[in-house]
Amino acid sequence: MTAARRTVLLHVTVSLAALVAVVWWASRQRLPALPDPGHAVGTLAAAVGLYALATLARGERWHRVLGLVGAPSRRADAYSLTAVGYMGNNTLPARAGDLLKSVLTARRTGLSTPEVLGAAVAERVLDATALGGVFLLLGGLVLTDAGLPAVHAVVAVLAGLIALAAAALA
């Protein structure tokens, strides 16, 4: 038997052993209790609707960021490539969906890939800024719940927002 054939046989054996182990483990698990379909449908529909709105907002943001770098982007392309990018982020390692979105956008707009990657970095900075703002606002609510006077919490949140804005503009 050749070395290549032994290697293939080893790969197949390890894969089959892993599959058998997973099936054995899964067969011994308790079935989960599913929620009542009458109540879950409304919540599920609201969650899907909210996710669709968030995806549309992200697509619009990508379209506008591309416009700022001079890319001749169609709105439908920006929306669809945003969905492709988020799909890639969920299935590929190391946020490779952003790279996938950038490469596909470069092909559609005629810009070079580095230019579009720069726009993707700008979009990530916008994400970080928005998340920082949400963090500061929620932190202010937590501070007031913890007993800090509201005036002090507002001052702390405003100072954080000013620092965040200064960092974004720098």
User: What is the per-residue pLDDT across 41-85, written as a single tens digit (0 to 9) for each?
Assistant: 888 899 999 999 999 999 999 999 999 999 889 999 999 999 999
pLDDT at 103: 95
Q: Is the pTM here over 0.75, yes or no?
A: no
Higher pLDDT pick, 102 / 138: 102
pLDDT digits (tens, 9 = 90+) for 147-167: 888 888 888 888 888 887 888
pLDDT at 154: 83
Which sign, positive or negative, has the C-alpha torsion 103, 67, 55, 76? negative
Q: What percent of the chain has pLDDT over 70?
A: 100
Q: Is 79 exposed, middle or buried (0-12, 13-18, 19+ CB in 10 A)?
A: middle
Q: How confident is the model at residue 9 (pLDDT cuts 50, 70, 90)?
A: very high
Mean pLDDT over 85-93 rounds to 93
Distance CA 84, CA 96 (A): 11
pLDDT at 40: 80
Q: How confident is the model at residue 21 (pLDDT cuts 50, 70, 90)?
A: very high
Q: Is 82 exposed, middle or buried (0-12, 13-18, 19+ CB in 10 A)?
A: buried
Can you tell me which residue has the tokens 């890319």? 71
Measuring CA to CA, how many Å separate 69 from each of 56, 64, 74, 102, 111? 20, 9, 14, 13, 9
Q: Which of 75, 164, 96 is nearest to 127 (CA)?
A: 164
Mean pLDDT over 113-119 rounds to 93
pLDDT digits (tens, 9 = 90+) for 26-35: 999 998 887 7
Where are the alpha helices (H) located in 28-70, listed in sequence order?
37-68
